[in-house]
Structure 1
Amino acid sequence: MQEGGTKVIHINFSSSDVDSTYFPQLDVIGDIACNIESLTLLAQKQEHWDFEYFMRVKDESQGHIVKYFKDERFPILPQRALKDIRDVLPKDGILTLDNGIYKIWFARNYKCFMPNTLLLDNALATMGAGLASAIAAKIVHPDKKVIAVCGDGGFMMNSQELETAVRLELDLIVIILNDNAYGMIKWKQEGMGFENFGLDYKNPDFVQYAQSYGATGHRPTSCDDFRVILDRVIDSKGVHLIDLAVDYSLNHEILNELLKNKTCLV
């Protein structure tokens, strides 16, 4: 938010916590549903709605990710991985997210066509939730395709649930975006002007790790290879784990600098 930009009205049970990035012009405190209904009753009937402003906001936001949809660099950019996953997963397929920096890209830019087809816990943001959510989704919806996207850090916090998925004979895909680090904290440290400290580590061989549980492991060597593997396993039986090397080098530039300077000024 910037002075002179779009005005913001805060509607919540409690007053806003004003800081350097969030300072609404008006607080509406009370029951959210009742307040929204009251505001609706006050609104005058509109014969025509002009969506031009909102479409500009959408186009501006999308432009920062669409430009990388065909990027061929490897390790893969999260934007490219998102595009390939969306292309392969059916409209009624379910994508579950663990918690890491990739979640920001998916939450903002993954296009959903049906309700409850993108599952993420964005409040407490528990690391390790992605695989468990995918298992639950597949049990509830055995006829739907289910993919879990996890970071290497989050996956290792609940990786033993691979045994559960294999034992239950689920058809499931687990994609590990692997940077051998806690990428979310790296991004936050960089955004605060700190040097990265204590965040890099070595992972096990995820392909062999999957095989030890009776799952099938894959390790793409290029963006095209990742797409080929996705196309093959989406209709395959059993649990498939894809160890996908990811490049987060653009996170700070786009998320901390470029988008921040454009917030509410479109």
Structure 2
Amino acid sequence: MRTEAESGKVRIDKERFFNLPVVILIASSFMLGMSEFIVVGILPGIAADLKISEVTVGNLVSLFAFVYAPVTPLGSALSARFPRFATHLTLIGIFLAGNILCAFAPNYAVLVVARIMIALVSGTLVAVAMTYAPDVTTDRFRTKFIAWVFSGFSIASVVGVPVGTWVANTFGWRWAFHMINVLTIMLIVGMVVALPRNSHIVKIGFLPQFRLFFDRRIQLGVLDVVCGAAASYVFYTYLTPIMRDEVHVPEQYLSVGLVIFGAACLWSNLYG
């Protein structure tokens, strides 16, 4: 069965799971994950270049999380009130601007501002991507779609961060962000070409959308994700210096360690 978006131009084969819109949405979460986690692989390079401690650079990850966590539900509730495609492009534009600022940041303060910009929109971008599910796939693929979109972050751990680390070690840490920027521009082109323009604007008020947090099942689900993320990301943030200083892994093999860790995350995510 084929369906046509309201624009009259974008046709989607919903019977084939890995159609172009689904791939684009998985790629978008991959880019979000790569941007979020890239600091892990290039942490020593940033610290040396900006003449600050690695712990200070590691705080960028904590800062990202502190902004990401409260803004995501608020941004998701607000975004539902506006045309989806235009909102999606606007948010990805802010994401691109934040990464460009990272690439050219002259000091730590500017890098902090840039990371805050990225954190402000990243969670909402994931939420918006999820709303495409009924438009790009069938009911029987709905759970698989959600799993794969979230797996974009794990794929970033397997592929994106190690590649970014290699780029940073070879050309300098700023080039890791330049690479993200080029890939994001390509992603935006793909979004314009492939994603449906129809919207499902939420009719209910802003505050009533948060009633779902009073559901015990939702509370347990959120707690499960929080505990899992806390257990893995606290270690993952400092994985590069841990491998280098504690395990004494040669620098040329640090990317291999990141790949192994990311592969374990990807497998567990898809299996779960």
**TM-score interval (norm. to shorter):** under 0.3
TM-score (norm 2): 0.23
Q: Which has the larger radius of gyration?
A: 1
TM-score for the superposition, normalised by structure 1: 0.23
Q: Whose relative contact order is higher, 1 or 2, with alpha carbons under 8 Å and at least 6 apart?
A: 2
If each structure's strand is expressed as a fraction of its own residues, which one has the higher value? 1
- Bigger helix fraction: 2
